[in-house]
Copies of this chain bind each other. A is one copy, B any other.
Amino acid sequence: MPQTIGLLLFGGAEELDFVGPWEVFTVSRMVLESQEQSAHTCVLVSQLGKTVQCAKGMRVETDHAFADAPALDVMLVPGGQGTRKEVTNQDLLKWVRDTAETCRWVTSVCTGSLILTSAGPAKGKRVTTHWNFVKTLRERNEASEVIDNARYVRDGNVVTAAGVSAGIDMALWLIGQMYSPEHARTVQRYMEYDPAPPYAGLV
């Protein structure tokens, strides 16, 4: 049966947090279809199903409101400035909690893990987040352990990625689990993802 991957959007969601994984998931779909294999669909969900203004100003239309969203097999929650507000949005937390119940995989990128721990799916789990929010997440005392210096952390069916670009690595890992490592490598090749950051060395 075809699976559905849903990416949750909200005002102030960080652009690359969800577009990196979106690219991975939709290229994966394209590759599977070209091989005449059954493929997942990808949808963008927001509370009202309208246009969302992201953290850095990009305006993206969403496909579904909570009220008309399909059941999801995979959920992805991005981070961004908007999580500070959404982490107390009871309607959003309830949707995440209820929707996650029947998901095969529940995932986040960056500070999206604050939403997953608050909402429930990642409560008591080992998680990660953006390096600058590791302390914050530890102080919230909802996760059993907050791991730093990892691109992504899996605990059961919950997979949390570190900041922003780490979502690309996590999404590639995930489609490798859903289909095969070989499939993930084909997607990686299409995206020409053999990264070479300039000016070597982090600050």
Residues on A close to B: CB < 8 A? 14-16, 19-20, 22-23, 26-27, 30, 42, 44, 51, 56-61, 110, 130-131, 151, 162-166, 168-169, 172-173, 176, 181-182, 184-186, 188-199, 201-203
Contact = CB atoms under 8 A, between A and B. Distances in A.
Given A182-B203, A186-B203, A192-B166, A20 B30 contact: no
A193 B185 contact: no
A194 B202 contact: yes
A164 B192 contact: yes
Contacts of A110: 192
A128 to B, nearest CB: 10
Nearest to A195: B195
Copies of this chain, how many? Answer: 2
Contacts of A192: 110, 130-131, 162-166
A185 B166 CA distance: 16
A143 to B, nearest CB: 18
A56 B199 contact: no
Contact of A172 (B19, B193, B198): B198
Contacts of A201: 185
Residue of A51, A165, A172, A185 with most chain B CB atoms under a 10 A cut-off: A165
B195 A56 contact: no
A14 B58 CA distance: 15
Given A164-B191, A197-B169, A202-B185, A22 B15 contact: yes
Nearest to A177: B198
7 contacts: A16-B191, A19-B19, A27-B56, A61-B61, A164-B190, A169-B197, A195-B197
A58 B196 contact: no
Contact of A193 (B26, B27, B56, B165): B165
A199 B186 contact: no
